[in-house]
């Protein structure tokens, strides 16, 4: 088993299927969570949604050593 950080995304309080989005480092996962919430698309680029509430955060998980991760 290995410890990873899983990205959790909620759209209008409904969970999206991100169960297989594992990150080795908490910082990398939190950066993606922040960008997802804020609509960051690149340097000087972003998007926003009207009437859609997007929340994203990371949680620690124990997964098998064979699980794929983002580094």
Domain extent for 33: 2-63
> Is residue 39 one of the residues assigned to a domain?
yes
> Is residue 58 one of the residues assigned to a domain?
yes
- CA dist., res. 42 & res. 36, Å (int): 12
pLDDT at 59 over 80: yes
- CA dist., res. 16 & res. 11, Å (int): 7
pLDDT digits (tens, 9 = 90+) for 10-43: 999 999 887 789 999 999 999 999 988 888 777 7
% of the chain beyond a pLDDT of 90: 61
Q: From its phi and psi, is residue 39 left (phi > 0), alpha (psi between -120 and 50) or beta?
A: left
Instruction: State the residue for tokens 């080795």.
Output: 24
> Is residue 47 one of the residues assigned to a domain?
yes
Q: Could you give the number of structural domains in the chain?
A: 1
């Amino acid at each position: 088993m290995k410890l990873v950080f899983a990205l959790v995304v909620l759209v209008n309080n409904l969970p999206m299927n991100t169960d297989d989005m594992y990150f080795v480092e908490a910082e990398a996962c939190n950066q993606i969570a922040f960008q997802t919430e804020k609509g960051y698309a690149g340097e000087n680029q972003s998007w926003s949604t009207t009437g859609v509430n997007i929340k994203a955060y990371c949680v620690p998980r124990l997964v098998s050593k064979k699980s794929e991760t983002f580094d």
